[in-house]
Amino acid sequence: MAVLIQHGLATHAQTREGPRMVTYYSISMRNILRLQRAGLYLALVEERMGKDGLAVFRAIMLHGTMSIGAARGVVGFSRLGAPAKKKFNIAVAKLVRERFIVAVTAKDSVTRSDRVIQAEATEVAKLDAPPTAKDLLKIRERISLREDEEYHSTTIIGLKRGTAAASADDHGGGASKVLIGPDGRAIVLDGNGLVGTGGGAHAEAEAEADAVDDKQCFRVYHDRLDVFLRNKQVVNYFSDKYNDAAGVVLKTVLRLTEAHTRTCRDRMSERVTANQIMQSIPPDARLEDAVDMGDSGFMQGSADGSGDEASAGRARRGRAALALLELLRTDASGVLNRADERGAGVYRVNFERAAAVLRDQCVDALIVEKHGSVHARIVRVLRDKQKLDEKAVSHFAMLPMDQCRERLHELSLAGFVATVEIPRTADRNPSRMFYLWHVDPHRQASAALRLVFQAMSNIIQRAAKEADARAPLLAKARREDVMADPSLLAASERKELRVACAARQRLDVAAARLDRMLLLVHDIAPRAAAAAAAAA
Amino acid sequence: MSDVDEEIYSLALSRKDGVDNDTIEEKMPHLPAEALANAINRLLRVGKIELVQIGTLTLYKGVSMAELELTSKMNEEDRLIYKLIENSGNEGIWVRTLKLKSNLPQTIVNRSLKQLEAQDIIKSVKSVKHPTRKLYMLSTVSPSADITGGPWFTDQEMDTDFIDQLAKQCHHLIYAYSYPRHNPAMVYPVSHMGYPTASQIKRFISDNRVSTVELTTENIEELLTMLIYDGKIERIAPALDVDRGLRAGAGKPDWMYRALRIADKDSPLTDIPCGRCPVASRCSGSGAITPAKCSYLAKWLAF
């Protein structure tokens, strides 16, 4: 139980029942399912934070909750010299600042509903008289507001700022202040928002000066990591739909805004200007070959015709970037919006739309696979037209009525479509009733999840069976002497081991791909993320 | 037939819907009302004109000589049935409606229908809307698109093969114009107006004789809407052309269509046999069908 709580897979709550204190435990299904995603998280951290960051992250992930001092010992930096320690500090500071890991507080292991009950009890105790319904409503609103404030706070717990950096910050007019928490640890409040969003030499120097409290325990912030995975999927969607350059442009927009995007609960991104986007597009991205501007003058070279290749190239690149931004903005999905017309435009990403588009695409692919493309067509018709009777569905889907009815019933059995009854008479006689077909995105998502969970469960069970069947061989292969000298394995054993590895790899890849569906169908929807956060 | 009768008859014949009393009086102001009434009565008696009631208006409709000759050989019941069928035009009339409107017993209606059908004066057709109903119309009349179902129906059945073939052709055409030919990885900017429209696709189909059936722009739009719901193409609103105003003419916008590249993206369930497993509903952790004992998974892992 202690291990489960340490890994955030279980939470507990104590309550007084008569003369004794009783402890209740609950399981976080969301975090358990995220274990499957460990590989994706590690790959992401390696891409963003490098090898040092990955080493620290992996240590914390393996132990669930860990102090930085302990992580230093596990990773092996404690035995190294000052430069290596500094490197470690920078990696840790970067992980904390970008919220890949977050400080663990005592309330993290308490079930959320119990935290709310406790907070409510504390507030009620402050009242002189028993609370009225109105008082209780106010108290609940206050608690919810406090939680929202905590969520939106720019405070980074566990990050101490060096004296030099702190004075520089004060000089710069930043509203930064250091508070001492109830446990005596330093809590830094930074009024400038998240640090480290600007990048560059200043940010690096600041990171060096930052020091993370060695005694502070940290855990992996899965909600934040899901944002990066979600962003990757959004980029992939547009790369597939248009081309890689369009994906690069959207990736740049997301990179610029992701520092302000905490979790998948956020519905809209921060605003970024077209200039910011154009300046941040990686120089190796080949935008010039991405948009065909035809005879509109775009391919005519530099505007002044001076023959300056470099400036002509820059101009071409700029126009291509703007054309791609416009293409993304006018896309039917409505993911990229123009928030303002200022300059070349101010853009923001609508995560709610992005989540809906990705979910629908994922559900449609699942329906195509499970039932067929005609079924997917029917679902798309209903998604677009809302509630329709059989005849109208058959008209839009261009299907004979009997085939359409058959397919609708198959989809209904699988939970992808539903009917609503419209009575023609007050007695609600079934023979005098209109039946309209419709799709409910939430029911559809749960039907899709059922299929994904079943497939994942099948894969996991099969992986266990494969491992059991070759248990003696795998145990032998893990022996230290065999690992040191593989020739101790017979040729047939080596062959069998290769087969086992290939099967394991295949099953792992299939599970990871299924997990991507889980992410798209369930985890990234802002409403679902907020509900999960509330339940955690 | 007197001159007056002749004049009224030709006037009634000249108008498809017939003429009313006021029009006749207006055209022949010199005639006294009594003479006019007598002439109309004579024409009605010989069946050269017939009374038609449209709302509160009574009209006199001329009967052509050919029809007069045809109906003169019929008895009263046959003539009544014939008239009702004729009035139904290309929509046809159902037997039950015939009985109701003629007020004749079912046996007489059936007998008349049999006689008229045997003389090849009327024909029976089936409607796609009500496949069990038998509709009657004149044998010289072609049934309306509502009855035949339009070009998508063959023998009252929706021709899905024809629809799929035509949809495939449309998709190919749209795809060819959706991305630059010299570099298909490129995309066109928002201002690009070269995406095909429904009328252009219709022209392509008729020019290349892709379909032997005559298709209207509305038919093509139906087909393109189906392709949109297949996730293969998307509809783009015509951009505003500053020099020429709206590109489309007044009224209906001329939508353009662009092919999508992500239409055939596979699902993670495609990778594993569980996606199309015929016994997936009976698969569980224990019992006869389990993932551990699954032969499909074994084959997949061995592949």
Specify the pLDDT at position B42.
87
A243: Cβ–Cβ under 8 A, 6 or more apart, which residues?
A290, B185, B186, B187
CATH classification at residue B255: 1.10.10
Calculate mean pLDDT across residues A133-146: 86
In a shared domain, residues B80 and B135: yes
In a shared domain, residues B202 and B290: no
Q: Percentage helix, strand, coil, to 5, in chain B?
A: 50, 15, 35
Specify the pLDDT at position A249.
94
Q: ipTM of this complex > 0.85?
A: no
The answer to whether B290 faces chain A, any CB pair under 8 Å, is: yes
List the 177-206 stretch of B: residues with Cβ below 8 A of A: 180, 183, 185-192
In a shared domain, residues B226 and B177: yes
Specify the pLDDT at position A526.
72
In a shared domain, residues B46 and B15: yes
The answer to whether A402 faces chain B, any CB pair under 8 Å, is: no
What is the tens place of the pLDDT at every residue in B278-290?
Answer: 888 888 888 889 9
> pLDDT class for A150, splitting at 50, 70, 90?
confident
> From CA A517, how far away is CA A229, in angstroms rounded?
12
Give the mutation candidate from B190, B233, B295 for the A interface (greatest A CB count, under 10 A): B190
In a shared domain, residues B173 and B252: yes
Question: A452 CA to chain B: closest CA distance, Å?
Answer: 8
* Phi and psi torsions of B33, nearest 5°: -60, -35
Domain spanning A354-439 has what CATH number?
1.10.10.10
Task: Look up residue B178 and give its two tokens.
Answer: 């959706």
pLDDT at A31 over 70: yes
Q: Which domain holds residue B43?
A: 3-63
Question: A174 CA to chain B: closest CA distance, Å?
Answer: 43
A200: Cβ–Cβ under 8 A, 6 or more apart, which residues?
none
Topology (CATH) of A224-349: Arc Repressor Mutant, subunit A (1.10.10)
Which among B47, B62, B102 has a CA at the least distance from the CA of B78? B102
Specify the pLDDT at position A104.
86
Which helix (H) or strand (E) segment is B245 a member of?
strand B245-246
Which helix (H) or strand (E) segment is A95 a member of?
helix A82-97
In a shared domain, residues B157 and B258: yes
pLDDT at A42 over 80: yes
Residue with tokens 């470690």: A88
The answer to whether B275 faces chain A, any CB pair under 8 Å, is: yes
The answer to whether A326 faces chain B, any CB pair under 8 Å, is: yes
Specify the pLDDT at position B13.
83
In a shared domain, residues B127 and B189: no
What is the tens place of the pLDDT at every residue in A206-263?
Answer: 555 456 777 888 999 988 899 999 999 999 999 999 989 999 999 999 999 988 888 8
Specify the pLDDT at position A193.
35
Question: B285 CA to chain A: closest CA distance, Å?
Answer: 8
- Looking at the 3D structure of chain B, how many domains does it have? 4
Q: Name the pairing type of β-strands A159-160 and A176-180.
A: unpaired
CATH classification at residue B16: 1.10.10.10
Specify the pLDDT at position A234.
93
> pLDDT class for A167, splitting at 50, 70, 90?
very low
Instruction: Return the residue of A nearest to B130 by Cα.
Output: A401
In a shared domain, residues B124 and B38: no
In a shared domain, residues B252 and B274: no
Strand partners, A24: A13
Q: Considering B114, B144, B174, which residue would you say is the last residue of a domain? A: B144
User: Measured between alpha carbons, how far is residue B11 from residues A210, A296, B30, B40, B58 in Å?
Assistant: 103, 63, 16, 12, 15
DSSP annotation of B120: T
Task: Determine how many CB atoms are found less than 10 A away from the CB of residue A435.
Answer: 12
Which string of DSSP letters, residue by residue, matches A117-165? Answer: HHHHHHHHHH-SSPPPHHHHHHHHHHHHHHHHHHHH---EETEE--HHH
Instruction: Return the residue of A nearest to B271 by Cα.
Output: A510
- Are A56 and A76 in contact by the 8 Å Cβ rule? The answer is no
| Interface contact B189-A326, CB threshold 8 A | yes
- Are A114 and A239 in contact by the 8 Å Cβ rule? The answer is no
Calculate mean pLDDT across residues A56-64: 90
Calculate mean pLDDT across residues A126-151: 84
- Are A396 and B229 in contact by the 8 Å Cβ rule? The answer is yes
| Interface contact B267-A503, CB threshold 8 A | no
- Are A370 and A414 in contact by the 8 Å Cβ rule? The answer is yes
The answer to whether A140 faces chain B, any CB pair under 8 Å, is: no
Calculate mean pLDDT across residues A147-168: 62
Which among A393, A475, A465, A477 has a CA at the least distance from the CA of A435? A393
pLDDT at A302 over 60: no
In a shared domain, residues B30 and B129: no
In a shared domain, residues B159 and B118: no
Which among B225, B226, B218, B252 has a CA at the least distance from the CA of B238? B252
Percent of chain A with pLDDT over 90: 26
